[in-house]
């Protein structure tokens, strides 16, 4: 029966410094199956796949591919064995067409580009898989989903029959996810085997044949889909049974705090990244912002914080228009606005500095004179670490980049909340965090809501948005396609709005 | 097969041991060159120590070599902390020296204290302006400062050449292309070979320690260096910060021009920098951009420089041999960084799990 397995990994151990990323992990892949690897962040899913793809060398353990013991020391060798991995960040040449991207770097092509031959070959494969790829379309004109299809296609074209997909659905709309799964099913039908990394349970149940659950660098179990339930999987994933529901706290909403009127912004490619966006934000409410990645969420947040140029329109906060003011001016006006950006280490924090200095970032201006004092910030940092239970060896001389994702976010959000802001804007506050850390973040936000703070919460997980928020504003290509009450709508309805269908609700009507 | 594994952060003790062994290993390798040059390595190394500390006069010479390197390194450090690659310390040094000489030429009869203060200010400004030009273009148009500052070195050098061979050529020098020596009322007072620039350097070190570690603007420079997005996010005025850092960085390098002209060489010339502006980059980098380590490392470099010039005369070996010893030591120290940060692991041995 051993021949049935195309991949067998045994006893794989990988150590980074003091951290055991993988601890005697077992994994096997059968021919023609879709195998999901499920786990929280930091469970070792990506590390394991990087070992299989030759990016990491395991410190211990054996790998067998198609019955042969192998030593995979580079992605090139992996590809020779038929293993291809879809990168999380697409590596495509923007100004090349789909066909040129496929040809570039492929060892099948001759020094001179034989377009006809490649087009023929591509056509066959495209038809076989039912993919939506136009070989002549330039990459910069493509949507995220198209780019993803192209990356998958590239790997297949190069002869891979074992395909690793690392969180492929994170950036897709529900409709696009459906298309992706169709393609996956067709690939399997033609003899490929697929490994899919995810932490979305419903997708696992839909697409996979077998499921391996990982936790803290070890394999917990491999189960057949038919023999399990989402509840059981979630249980194995987080260890002990956890409340998966995001708590909603009812609060009587207060007065209007922020009024965004008809703002428009244009990005580098002259695209209207924000197109006549209008909405209000009230004290004591969490306004969710939903949308496919890149629909203008980032620009909206940064625009409010004074970091993105707003071409026209008004942002009225406590009676003053803050459009055209940079963060320095906004704080000089006495408006304390806290913005928790998407890019935590690149914008919200200084990755190489310790917690004290990162707290100092927002503090140092309060001291008079030319000097800075770390004493106040030290006390604050200590309080923050204790209150939010940040796990760190030290608050001094220990760079925040060395902390785990959850702890980094606790430092950032904790710092912003400590400032007692009049407005809190968060972008993807729980992205990349495990269930436990996310829970703490939700509790913090609810705490602020009870204190009658206006909160804007940009999120990507619709389930979370629908249970956490009082209202959800949906963005699509920079336009507001609806502002809805999550208690009175369905996930599908929001999904439709995300793909551009306008809501018939009353609030949305006032916009158009 | 061997592969490279990143180590955890090394302890200070380990760092010291590794660096010391690097120096010892370098000296061992350098011995071969010394032998080829026909000298006894052990005697030569003892000679270096004697050349630096053997007498008060020689120690003064060591300190004299340390001071310009120290101040230049501090200047470079400010810019580097902001990830602004100021490769132009040489040029700012020269321009500072030009400014100093200009003061004497315009106002030759000032009393010494006034003269010195004025020269300090003007040399600071000349160096600062020389770096503010690329800083302005960087802040405004995003130009590359590495090439810009490097090119300005050559412009400064050519300007000094033109002054030396033509405009400011000393008519009393019998046709020698040379700028006239500074008058008595423009020379730094000195006692027993130690001149006033030492005191200036001490003040600068203390001020820079405060500036980099305890001042708002120093903090802003560090934040901006780490991430421009974060700087904008917390409301730092990016342009203003770049300009201030350039002012301090270029200004310090310019002041070295004044210290060297009035304290050591006594006249402006094209040879006045001795390449120290480039050595300062190495010193600042080896010190991890930290002020206290800059002091230590400048001293170590000064020992090498002074030792080299001493053994040339004492042992009659070519100056290039001394320079080779210097370069070998540097190479080993830089190489030891690898040992500190990585270790090699063979596939055969089971790696121990910490």
Asked if the model's pLDDT at residue A305 lies above 50, the reply is yes
pLDDT at A507: 45
Instruction: For residue A39, name the pLDDT band (cuts at 50, 70, 90).
Output: confident
In angstroms, the CA A117 to CA A110 distance is 11
Tell me the average pLDDT across A387-416.
Answer: 86
Angle between helices A405-418 and A435-450 (to 10 degrees): 10
Query: What confidence tens digit (pLDDT) does each residue in A54-66 have?
Result: 888 888 899 999 8
Query: What confidence tens digit (pLDDT) does each residue in A126-164 have?
Result: 888 878 788 888 888 888 788 888 888 888 888 888 999
* Shared-domain flag, residues A495 and A391: no
Domain hosting residue B228, numbered range: 68-288
Judge whether B222 lies within some domain.
Answer: yes
* Shared-domain flag, residues A434 and A315: yes
Contact A347 B219 (CB under 8 A): no
Instruction: For residue A190, name the pLDDT band (cuts at 50, 70, 90).
Output: confident
Q: Phi/psi zone of residue A182: left (φ > 0), alpha (ψ -120 to 50 degrees), beta?
A: alpha
Judge whether A341 lies within some domain.
Answer: no
Instruction: For residue A17, name the pLDDT band (cuts at 50, 70, 90).
Output: low
Which residues have CB under 8 Å from A25's CB, separation 6+?
A: A9, A11, A12, A13, A44, A48, A61, A214, A217, A218, A219
The distance of B201 to chain A (nearest Cα, Å) reads 22
Name which residue leads in pLDDT, A144 or A18.
A144
Report the mean per-residue pLDDT for chain B.
89
Tell me the average pLDDT across B269-288.
Answer: 91
Judge whether A258 lies within some domain.
Answer: yes
Two tokens at A396?
């001094």
Query: What confidence tens digit (pLDDT) does each residue in B120-176 have?
Result: 999 999 999 999 999 999 988 889 999 999 999 999 999 999 999 989 998 888 888
DSSP state of A275: E
pLDDT at B10: 66
Tell me the average pLDDT across A13-21.
Answer: 78
pLDDT at A381: 92
pLDDT at A94: 85
Asked if the model's pLDDT at residue A512 lies above 50, the reply is no
Query: What confidence tens digit (pLDDT) does each residue in A63-84 have?
Result: 999 888 998 888 888 888 999 9
Judge whether B111 lies within some domain.
Answer: yes
* Shared-domain flag, residues A460 and A329: yes
Residues of B in contact with A303 (CB under 8 A): none
Report the mean per-residue pLDDT for chain A.
84
* Shared-domain flag, residues A159 and A56: yes
Judge whether B34 lies within some domain.
Answer: no
pLDDT at A509: 38
Contact B230 A360 (CB under 8 A): no
DSSP state of B183: P
In angstroms, the CA B294 to CA B67 distance is 11
Percent over 90 (pLDDT), chain B: 60
Query: What confidence tens digit (pLDDT) does each residue in B178-225 have?
Result: 999 999 899 999 887 888 999 999 999 999 999 999 999 999 999 999
Residues of A in contact with B210 (CB under 8 A): 371
Asked if the model's pLDDT at residue A109 lies above 70, the reply is no
pLDDT at A97: 87
Asked if the model's pLDDT at residue A506 lies above 90, the reply is no
Judge whether B150 lies within some domain.
Answer: yes
In angstroms, the CA A511 to CA A278 distance is 7
* Shared-domain flag, residues A127 and A64: yes
The number of helix segments (H) and strand segments (E) in chain B equals 13, 4
Q: DSSP alpha helices (H): ranges in B37-111? A: 41-53, 56-81, 89-106
Judge whether B308 lies within some domain.
Answer: no
Two tokens at B238?
């990016």
The distance of A247 to chain B (nearest Cα, Å) reads 31
Query: What confidence tens digit (pLDDT) does each residue in A460-500 have?
Result: 777 788 889 999 999 988 889 899 998 888 777 887 787 66
Judge whether A471 lies within some domain.
Answer: yes
pLDDT at B8: 66
In angstroms, the CA A216 to CA A62 distance is 20
Query: What confidence tens digit (pLDDT) does each residue in A478-487 have?
Result: 889 899 998 8
pLDDT at A107: 66
Judge whether A130 lies within some domain.
Answer: yes
Interface test with A, best of B233, B343, B349, B354 (most A CBs within 10 A): B233
DSSP A345-412: IIIIS-TTS-HHHHHHTTTGGGS-SSB--HHHHHHHHHHHHHHTT---S-SSS--GGGS-HHHHHHHH
Instruction: For residue A239, name the pLDDT band (cuts at 50, 70, 90).
Output: low
* Shared-domain flag, residues A272 and A388: no
pLDDT at A154: 87
pLDDT at A29: 92
Torsion of CA A189, A79, A1, A28, to 10 degrees: -90
Judge whether B72 lies within some domain.
Answer: yes
Contact A351 B226 (CB under 8 A): yes
* Shared-domain flag, residues A303 and A411: no
* φ and ψ of A70, to 5 deg: -135, 160
Residues of A in contact with B222 (CB under 8 A): 350, 353
Domain limit, last residue, from A222, A238, A254: A238
* Shared-domain flag, residues A156 and A277: no
Asked if the model's pLDDT at residue B328 lies above 50, the reply is yes
* Shared-domain flag, residues A234 and A247: no
pLDDT at B352: 41
Asked if the model's pLDDT at residue B351 lies above 60, the reply is no
Our count of domains for chain B comes to: 1
**CA end-to-end span of chain B:** 22
Instruction: For residue A373, name the pLDDT band (cuts at 50, 70, 90).
Output: confident
Query: Who among B214, B223, B353 is closest to A361 (CB)?
Result: B223
Instruction: For residue A302, name the pLDDT band (cuts at 50, 70, 90).
Output: very high
pLDDT at B349: 45
What percentage of chain B's residues is helix, strand, coil (to nearest 5)? 75, 5, 20
Domain limit, last residue, from A375, A405, A420: A420
Judge whether A324 lies within some domain.
Answer: yes
Residue B182: strand, helix, or coil: coil
Name which residue leads in pLDDT, B168 or A333.
B168
pLDDT at A110: 67
Question: Which CATH number characterizes residue A141's domain?
Answer: 3.40.50.300
Tell me the average pLDDT across A189-214.
Answer: 86
pLDDT at A244: 54
* Shared-domain flag, residues A393 and A481: no
Number of CB atoms found within 10 A of residue B235's CB? 19
* Shared-domain flag, residues A427 and A312: yes
Which residues have CB under 8 Å from B180's CB, separation 6+?
A: B168, B170, B172, B173, B267
Query: What confidence tens digit (pLDDT) does each residue in B249-267 have?
Result: 999 999 999 999 999 999 9
Percent over 90 (pLDDT), chain A: 25
Nearest CA in chain B to A18: B354
pLDDT at A427: 92
Count of pairs with CB atoms under 8 A, one residue in A, one in B: 78
Domain limit, last residue, from A368, A389, A420: A420
Interface predicted TM-score (ipTM):
0.82
Residue B287: how many CA atoms within 13 Å on its side-chain side?
28
Interface test with A, best of B11, B211, B234, B344 (most A CBs within 10 A): B234
Residues of B in contact with A305 (CB under 8 A): 233
Angstrom CA distances, B167 to A322, B88, B161, B177, stand at: 57, 24, 10, 10
Contact A327 B223 (CB under 8 A): no
Our count of domains for chain A comes to: 3
Q: Which of B306, B327, B338, B325 is nearest to B27 (CA)?
A: B325
Judge whether B90 lies within some domain.
Answer: yes
Name which residue leads in pLDDT, B37 or B143.
B143
Query: What confidence tens digit (pLDDT) does each residue in B85-125 have?
Result: 999 999 999 999 999 999 999 999 999 999 999 999 999 99
* Shared-domain flag, residues A416 and A468: no
Judge whether A107 lies within some domain.
Answer: yes
Q: Are B89 and B69 in contact (CB under 8 A)?
A: no
Asked if the model's pLDDT at residue A411 lies above 50, the reply is yes
Query: What confidence tens digit (pLDDT) does each residue in B297-312 have?
Result: 999 989 988 888 888 8
Residues of A in contact with B347 (CB under 8 A): 57
Contact A362 B234 (CB under 8 A): yes
Domain hosting residue A388, numbered range: 348-420
pLDDT at A265: 92
Contact A15 B226 (CB under 8 A): no
Judge whether B19 lies within some domain.
Answer: no
């Amino acid at each position: 029966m051993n021949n049935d397995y195309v991949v067998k990994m045994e006893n794989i151990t990988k150590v980074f410094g003091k951290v055991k990323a993988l601890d005697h992990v077992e994994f096997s892949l059968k021919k023609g199956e879709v195998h999901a690897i499920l786990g929280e962040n930091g469970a070792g899913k990506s590390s394991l796949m990087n070992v299989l793809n030759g990016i990491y060398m395991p410190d211990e353990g054996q790998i067998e591919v198609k019955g042969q013991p192998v030593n995979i020391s580079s992605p090139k060798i992996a590809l020779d064995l038929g293993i291809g991995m879809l990168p999380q960040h697409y590596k495509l040449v923007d100004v090349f067409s789909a066909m040129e991207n496929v040809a570039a770097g492929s060892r099948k092509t001759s020094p001179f580009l034989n377009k006809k031959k490649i087009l023929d070959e591509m056509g066959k494969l495209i038809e076989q898989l039912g993919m939506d790829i136009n070989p002549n379309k330039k990459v910069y004109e493509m949507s995220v989903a198209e780019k993803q299809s192209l990356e998958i296609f590239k790997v297949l074209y190069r002869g891979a029959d074992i395909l690793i997909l690392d969180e492929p659905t994170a950036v897709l709309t529900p409709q696009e996810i459906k298309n992706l799964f169709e393609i996956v099913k067709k690939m399997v039908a033609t003899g490929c085997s697929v490994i899919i990394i995810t932490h979305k349970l419903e997708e696992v149940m839909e697409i996979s044949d077998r499921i391996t659950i990982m936790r803290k660098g070890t394999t917990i179990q491999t189960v057949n889909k038919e023999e399990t339930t989402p509840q059981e999987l979630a249980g194995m994933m987080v260890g002990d049974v956890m409340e998966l529901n995001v708590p909603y706290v009812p609060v009587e909403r207060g007065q209007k705090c922020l009024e965004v009127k008809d703002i428009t912004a244009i990005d580098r490619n002259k695209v209207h990244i924000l197109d006549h966006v209008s909405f209000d934000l009230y004290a004591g409410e969490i306004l969710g912002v939903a949308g496919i990645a890149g629909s203008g969420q980032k620009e909206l947040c940064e625009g409010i914080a004074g970091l993105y140029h707003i071409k026209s329109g008004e942002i009225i906060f406590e009676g003053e228009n803050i459009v055209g003011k940079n963060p320095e001016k906004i704080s000089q006006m006495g408006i304390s606005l806290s913005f928790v950006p998407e890019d935590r280490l690149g914008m919200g924090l200084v990755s190489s500095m310790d917690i004290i200095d990162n707290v100092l970032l927002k503090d140092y201006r309060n001291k008079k004179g030319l000097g800075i004092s770390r004493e106040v910030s030290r006390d604050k940092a200590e309080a923050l670490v204790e209150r939010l239970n940040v796990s760190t060896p030290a608050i001094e001389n220990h760079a925040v980049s060395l902390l785990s994702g959850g702890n980094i976010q606790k430092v950032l959000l904790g710092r912003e909340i400590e400032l007692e802001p009049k407005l809190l804007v968060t972008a993807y506050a729980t992205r990349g965090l495990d269930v436990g850390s996310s829970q703490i973040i939700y509790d913090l936000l609810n705490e602020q809501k009870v204190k009658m703070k206006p909160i804007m919460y940009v999120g990507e997980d619709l389930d979370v948005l629908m249970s956490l928020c009082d209202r959800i504003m949906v963005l699509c290509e920079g336009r507001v396609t609806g502002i809805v009450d999550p208690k009175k709508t369905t996930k599908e309805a929001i999904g439709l709005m995300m793909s551009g269908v306008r809501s018939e609700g009353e609030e949305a009507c006032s916009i158009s | 097969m061997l592969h490279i594994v990143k180590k955890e952060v090394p302890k200070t003790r380990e760092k010291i041991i590794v660096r010391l062994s690097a120096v010892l290993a370098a000296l061992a390798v350098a011995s071969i060159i010394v032998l080829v040059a026909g000298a006894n390595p052990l005697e030569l190394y003892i000679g270096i120590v004697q050349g630096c500390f053997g007498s008060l006069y020689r120690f003064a010479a060591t300190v004299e070599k340390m001071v310009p390197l120290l101040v230049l390194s501090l200047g470079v450090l400010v810019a580097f902390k902001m990830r602004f690659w100021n490769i132009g310390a040489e040029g700012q040094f020269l321009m500072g020296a030009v400014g100093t000489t200009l003061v004497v030429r315009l106002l030759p009869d000032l009393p010494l204290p006034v003269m010195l203060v004025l020269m300090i200010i003007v040399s600071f400004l000349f160096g600062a302006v020389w770096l503010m030009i690329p800083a302005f273009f960087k802040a405004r148009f995003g130009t590359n400062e590495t090439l810009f500052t490097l090119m300005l070195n050559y412009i400064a050098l050519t300007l000094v050449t033109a002054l030396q061979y033509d405009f400011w050529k000393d008519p009393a020098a019998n046709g020698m292309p040379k700028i006239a020596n500074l008058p008595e009322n423009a020379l730094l007072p000195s006692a027993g070979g130690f001149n006033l620039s030492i005191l200036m350097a001490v003040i600068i070190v203390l001020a820079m320690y405060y500036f980099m570690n305890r001042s708002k603007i120093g903090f802003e420079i560090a934040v901006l260096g780490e991430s421009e997005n974060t700087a904008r996010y917390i409301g730092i005025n990016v342009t203003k910060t770049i300009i201030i850092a350039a002012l301090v960085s270029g200004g310090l390098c310019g002041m070295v021009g004044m210290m060297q002209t009035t304290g050591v060489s006594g006249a402006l010339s094209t040879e006045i920098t001795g390449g120290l502006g480039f050595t300062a980059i190495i010193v600042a980098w080896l010190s991890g951009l930290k002020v206290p380590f800059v002091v230590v490392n400048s001293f170590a470099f000064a020992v090498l420089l002074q030792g080299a010039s001493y053994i040339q005369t004492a042992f009659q070996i070519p100056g290039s041999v001394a320079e080779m010893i210097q370069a070998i030591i540097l190479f080993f120290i830089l190489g030891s960084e690898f040992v500190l940060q990585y270790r090699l692991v063979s596939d055969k041995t089971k790696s121990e799990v910490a």
